[in-house]
Protein backbone atom coordinates (compact mmCIF):
# COMPACT_ATOMS: atom_id res chain seq x y z
CA UNK A 1 0.00 0.00 0.00
CA UNK A 2 1.33 3.41 -0.92
CA UNK A 3 1.80 5.73 2.05
CA UNK A 4 -0.64 8.60 2.30
CA UNK A 5 2.12 11.17 2.73
CA UNK A 6 5.77 11.17 1.66
CA UNK A 7 6.72 13.38 4.61
CA UNK A 8 5.00 14.97 7.60
CA UNK A 9 5.52 18.35 9.23
CA UNK A 10 4.09 19.00 12.66
CA UNK A 11 2.97 21.98 14.65
CA UNK A 12 4.17 21.72 18.27
CA UNK A 13 1.52 23.40 20.49
CA UNK A 14 -1.62 21.31 20.69
CA UNK A 15 0.09 18.54 18.73
CA UNK A 16 2.98 17.49 20.99
CA UNK A 17 2.51 19.86 23.93
CA UNK A 18 -0.22 21.81 25.70
CA UNK A 19 -0.04 24.55 28.35
CA UNK A 20 0.97 22.73 31.52
CA UNK A 21 -2.09 21.77 33.63
CA UNK A 22 0.22 21.28 36.61
CA UNK A 23 0.56 25.08 36.66
CA UNK A 24 -2.79 26.17 35.30
CA UNK A 25 -5.13 23.89 37.26
CA UNK A 26 -4.13 25.24 40.70
CA UNK A 27 -4.18 28.79 39.32
CA UNK A 28 -7.69 28.44 37.90
CA UNK A 29 -9.04 26.40 40.83
CA UNK A 30 -9.25 29.72 42.68
CA UNK A 31 -12.02 30.67 40.21
CA UNK A 32 -13.80 27.33 40.49
CA UNK A 33 -12.03 25.27 37.80
CA UNK A 34 -11.69 21.51 38.19
CA UNK A 35 -8.43 19.80 39.02
CA UNK A 36 -8.49 16.77 36.71
CA UNK A 37 -5.76 17.30 34.11
CA UNK A 38 -7.81 15.64 31.37
CA UNK A 39 -10.15 18.62 31.68
CA UNK A 40 -7.28 20.82 30.51
CA UNK A 41 -6.66 18.73 27.42
CA UNK A 42 -10.33 19.12 26.61
CA UNK A 43 -10.13 22.84 27.36
CA UNK A 44 -7.22 23.40 24.98
CA UNK A 45 -8.99 21.94 21.94
CA UNK A 46 -12.33 23.54 22.71
CA UNK A 47 -10.55 26.86 23.12
CA UNK A 48 -8.61 26.49 19.86
CA UNK A 49 -11.87 25.92 18.01
CA UNK A 50 -13.40 28.99 19.69
CA UNK A 51 -10.35 31.02 18.65
CA UNK A 52 -10.58 29.80 15.06
CA UNK A 53 -14.33 30.40 14.96
CA UNK A 54 -13.71 34.02 15.99
CA UNK A 55 -10.97 34.35 13.37
CA UNK A 56 -8.30 35.02 16.01
CA UNK A 57 -4.71 35.25 14.80
CA UNK A 58 -1.48 34.54 16.66
CA UNK A 59 -1.73 37.64 18.83
CA UNK A 60 -5.40 37.38 19.76
CA UNK A 61 -6.04 34.86 22.53
CA UNK A 62 -9.14 36.43 24.14
CA UNK A 63 -11.60 33.90 22.76
CA UNK A 64 -9.19 31.10 23.60
CA UNK A 65 -8.82 32.25 27.20
CA UNK A 66 -12.55 32.59 27.83
CA UNK A 67 -13.44 29.26 26.26
CA UNK A 68 -10.52 27.56 28.02
CA UNK A 69 -11.51 28.56 31.53
CA UNK A 70 -15.17 27.70 30.83
CA UNK A 71 -14.18 24.21 29.64
CA UNK A 72 -12.01 23.88 32.76
CA UNK A 73 -15.11 24.37 34.86
CA UNK A 74 -14.99 28.05 35.80
CA UNK A 75 -18.59 29.26 36.31
CA UNK A 76 -19.96 31.96 34.00
CA UNK A 77 -19.72 34.80 36.51
CA UNK A 78 -15.99 34.15 37.03
CA UNK A 79 -15.00 33.65 33.37
CA UNK A 80 -13.77 37.22 32.82
CA UNK A 81 -11.64 37.23 35.96
CA UNK A 82 -10.18 33.78 35.28
CA UNK A 83 -9.48 34.58 31.61
CA UNK A 84 -7.63 37.73 32.69
CA UNK A 85 -5.35 35.72 34.93
CA UNK A 86 -4.90 32.94 32.38
CA UNK A 87 -3.71 35.47 29.79
CA UNK A 88 -1.02 36.64 32.23
CA UNK A 89 -0.03 33.20 33.47
CA UNK A 90 0.16 31.18 30.28
CA UNK A 91 3.32 31.99 28.34
CA UNK A 92 5.46 30.31 25.72
CA UNK A 93 7.53 28.35 28.22
CA UNK A 94 4.46 26.74 29.80
CA UNK A 95 3.60 24.94 26.54
CA UNK A 96 5.49 21.91 27.85
CA UNK A 97 3.06 19.15 28.95
CA UNK A 98 3.31 16.21 26.49
CA UNK A 99 0.15 14.86 24.86
CA UNK A 100 -0.39 11.12 25.07
CA UNK A 101 0.58 9.30 21.90
CA UNK A 102 2.77 11.96 20.34
CA UNK A 103 6.13 10.43 21.25
CA UNK A 104 4.97 6.97 20.26
CA UNK A 105 3.77 8.24 16.88
CA UNK A 106 7.09 9.97 16.16
CA UNK A 107 9.00 6.82 17.12
CA UNK A 108 6.98 4.71 14.70
CA UNK A 109 7.42 7.28 11.92
CA UNK A 110 11.18 7.13 12.56
CA UNK A 111 11.09 3.31 12.33
CA UNK A 112 9.24 3.57 9.04
CA UNK A 113 11.75 6.14 7.74
CA UNK A 114 9.05 8.71 7.13
CA UNK A 115 10.76 12.12 6.90
CA UNK A 116 9.38 14.41 9.62
CA UNK A 117 9.94 17.94 10.91
CA UNK A 118 8.44 20.67 13.08
CA UNK A 119 7.14 24.13 12.13
CA UNK A 120 5.94 26.13 15.15
CA UNK A 121 4.79 29.62 16.00
CA UNK A 122 7.01 30.02 19.02
CA UNK A 123 9.27 32.37 20.93
CA UNK A 124 12.73 30.99 20.28
CA UNK A 125 12.26 28.28 22.90
CA UNK A 126 10.54 25.43 21.10
CA UNK A 127 13.55 23.25 20.17
CA UNK A 128 14.80 23.39 23.75
CA UNK A 129 11.39 22.50 25.19
CA UNK A 130 10.79 19.66 22.73
CA UNK A 131 14.07 18.23 23.98
CA UNK A 132 13.44 18.79 27.70
CA UNK A 133 9.89 17.41 27.44
CA UNK A 134 11.39 14.32 25.75
CA UNK A 135 9.52 14.68 22.43
CA UNK A 136 12.18 14.97 19.74
CA UNK A 137 15.45 16.53 18.64
CA UNK A 138 16.97 17.49 15.31
CA UNK A 139 19.11 14.65 14.00
CA UNK A 140 20.28 11.62 15.93
CA UNK A 141 19.94 11.41 19.70
CA UNK A 142 18.07 9.76 22.52
CA UNK A 143 14.66 11.05 21.38
CA UNK A 144 12.68 10.75 18.17
CA UNK A 145 14.60 12.35 15.33
CA UNK A 146 13.27 15.17 13.16
CA UNK A 147 14.96 16.88 10.20
CA UNK A 148 14.25 20.42 11.36
CA UNK A 149 12.54 22.46 14.07
CA UNK A 150 11.45 25.79 12.60
CA UNK A 151 10.64 28.43 15.25
CA UNK A 152 8.76 31.48 13.96
CA UNK A 153 10.66 33.79 16.28
CA UNK A 154 13.98 32.54 14.91
CA UNK A 155 13.05 32.75 11.22
CA UNK A 156 11.01 35.95 11.52
CA UNK A 157 7.80 34.77 9.89
CA UNK A 158 4.80 33.13 11.56
CA UNK A 159 1.79 31.07 10.49
CA UNK A 160 -0.62 31.64 8.84
CA UNK A 161 1.95 33.26 6.52
CA UNK A 162 2.79 30.35 4.21
CA UNK A 163 6.37 31.64 3.89
CA UNK A 164 7.28 30.00 7.20
CA UNK A 165 7.06 26.61 5.50
CA UNK A 166 9.74 27.63 2.99
CA UNK A 167 12.21 27.39 5.90
CA UNK A 168 11.35 23.71 6.37
CA UNK A 169 11.01 22.51 2.79
CA UNK A 170 14.77 22.56 1.98
CA UNK A 171 15.12 19.77 4.57
CA UNK A 172 12.77 17.67 2.43
CA UNK A 173 14.49 18.09 -0.91
CA UNK A 174 13.21 15.74 -3.58
CA UNK A 175 9.76 15.43 -2.00
CA UNK A 176 6.94 17.27 -3.72
CA UNK A 177 5.20 19.63 -1.32
CA UNK A 178 1.83 18.31 -2.50
CA UNK A 179 2.80 15.02 -0.82
CA UNK A 180 3.77 16.60 2.51
CA UNK A 181 1.22 16.75 5.32
CA UNK A 182 1.13 19.51 7.91
CA UNK A 183 -0.45 18.45 11.18
CA UNK A 184 -1.72 21.24 13.42
CA UNK A 185 -4.48 22.14 15.84
CA UNK A 186 -5.55 25.54 14.51
CA UNK A 187 -7.90 26.13 11.60
CA UNK A 188 -6.89 29.74 11.06
CA UNK A 189 -3.13 29.35 11.49
CA UNK A 190 -2.34 25.75 10.56
CA UNK A 191 -4.94 24.60 8.07
CA UNK A 192 -5.09 27.93 6.24
CA UNK A 193 -1.34 28.50 6.35
CA UNK A 194 -0.34 25.05 5.16
CA UNK A 195 -3.02 25.02 2.47
CA UNK A 196 -1.67 28.31 1.16
CA UNK A 197 1.81 26.76 1.14
CA UNK A 198 0.61 23.87 -1.04
CA UNK A 199 0.86 21.22 1.68
CA UNK A 200 -1.83 18.77 2.83
CA UNK A 201 -3.50 20.10 5.98
CA UNK A 202 -4.43 17.69 8.78
CA UNK A 203 -6.23 19.02 11.86
CA UNK A 204 -5.84 17.47 15.31
CA UNK A 205 -9.43 17.67 16.57
CA UNK A 206 -9.94 14.96 19.20
CA UNK A 207 -13.29 16.28 20.42
CA UNK A 208 -14.83 17.09 17.04
CA UNK A 209 -14.88 20.79 17.83
CA UNK A 210 -14.07 21.86 14.28
CA UNK A 211 -16.26 19.55 12.22
CA UNK A 212 -18.15 22.57 10.85
CA UNK A 213 -15.03 24.67 10.30
CA UNK A 214 -12.95 22.64 7.84
CA UNK A 215 -13.29 19.97 5.21
CA UNK A 216 -9.71 18.68 5.52
CA UNK A 217 -8.75 15.46 7.27
CA UNK A 218 -9.26 15.59 11.03
CA UNK A 219 -7.56 13.18 13.43
CA UNK A 220 -8.07 12.54 17.14
CA UNK A 221 -4.45 11.65 17.88
CA UNK A 222 -1.11 11.43 16.08
CA UNK A 223 -1.51 7.67 16.35
CA UNK A 224 -4.20 7.99 13.66
CA UNK A 225 -1.43 8.86 11.22
CA UNK A 226 0.13 5.42 11.52
MG1 LIG B 1 -0.75 24.65 17.64
Where along the chain do its domains lie? 7-16+99-225, 20-94
Helix axes 79-89, 62-71, angle to 10 degrees: 110
Cα 51 to averaged position of ligand 1 atoms, centre (Å): 12
Cα 189 to averaged position of ligand 1 atoms, centre (Å): 8
Q: Cα separation of 16 and 7, whole Å?
A: 17
What is the pLDDT at residue 1? 47
Cα 78 to averaged position of ligand 1 atoms, centre (Å): 26
Buried b (16+ CB within 10 A) or exposed e, 151-160: bbebeebbbb
Mean pLDDT over 170-175 rounds to 98
DSSP tag of 213 = T
Cα 146 to averaged position of ligand 1 atoms, centre (Å): 18
Cα 162 to averaged position of ligand 1 atoms, centre (Å): 15
Q: What mean pLDDT value characterizes the chain?
A: 96
What is the pLDDT at residue 2? 61
Share of the chain above pLDDT 70, in %: 99
| Type and span of the H or E element at 43 | helix 37-53
Cα 169 to averaged position of ligand 1 atoms, centre (Å): 19
Q: Cα separation of 136 and 120, whole Å?
A: 14
Q: Cα separation of 39 and 18, whole Å?
A: 12
The pLDDT tens digits for 82-134 are 999 999 999 999 999 999 999 999 999 999 999 999 999 999 999 999 999 99
Vertex 197 angle, CA 220 and 122, to 5°: 65
Is the per-residue pLDDT at 177 higher than 70? yes
Q: How far is CA 212 from CA 40, 62, 64, 181, 187, in A?
A: 23, 21, 18, 21, 11
Q: pTM for the complete prediction? A: 0.96
Cα 1 to averaged position of ligand 1 atoms, centre (Å): 30
Burial of 124 (0-12, 13-18, 19+ CB in 10 A): exposed
Q: What superfamily in CATH does domain 7-16+99-225 come from?
A: HAD superfamily/HAD-like (3.40.50.1000)
Cα 185 to averaged position of ligand 1 atoms, centre (Å): 5
Cα 81 to averaged position of ligand 1 atoms, centre (Å): 25
Cα 16 to averaged position of ligand 1 atoms, centre (Å): 9
Amino acid sequence: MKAEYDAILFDAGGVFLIPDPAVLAPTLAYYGAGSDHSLYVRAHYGAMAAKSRAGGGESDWDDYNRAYVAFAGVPDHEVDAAAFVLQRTRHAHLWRAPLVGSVEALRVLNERNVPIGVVSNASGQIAEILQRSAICQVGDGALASVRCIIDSDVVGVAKPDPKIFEHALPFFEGIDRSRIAYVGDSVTMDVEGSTAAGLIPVLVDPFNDAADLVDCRRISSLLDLL
